[in-house]
Amino acid sequence: MSQQGPPADAKQAQAAALAELEAAQKKKRQIDATLANLEHSIYAFEGSYLDETAASGGNIIKKKIEVTEADRLFSTSSGTYQQSLAAKRQYDAEVIAIKNVSSK
């Protein structure tokens, strides 16, 4: 009894499955980067709001002049904020690496 390996159609199915997996992983990284960008925008808009209203004696969240991280109710309520920042850094690094390889 000899071992010839998997049949050709099994190899094609495996190659197709790997290609599909790679495409799905790429799409997930793009979605993670989009989420990170959105959460960063929320953080920035929230900071602008808190800073602008602090000068007038407070805002609807807290009546105080000094703004702290604890005042960031929207940003800190996101369960994925820290994860999406890490994913965005990884995605950005991969994009830079691909561009560096392409430009050579």
Q: How confident is the model over 5-60, as pLDDT tens digits?
A: 677 788 899 999 999 999 999 999 888 888 888 888 888 888 888 777 776 766 66
Q: How confident is the model over 64-79, as pLDDT tens digits?
A: 566 677 777 777 777 7
What local confidence, expressed as pLDDT, does residue 35 receive?
A: 85
Rounded Cα gap, residues 101 and 18, in angstroms: 23
Dihedral, 41, 45, 48, 49 alpha carbons, nearest 10: -160
- Claim: this prediction has a pTM higher than 0.75: no
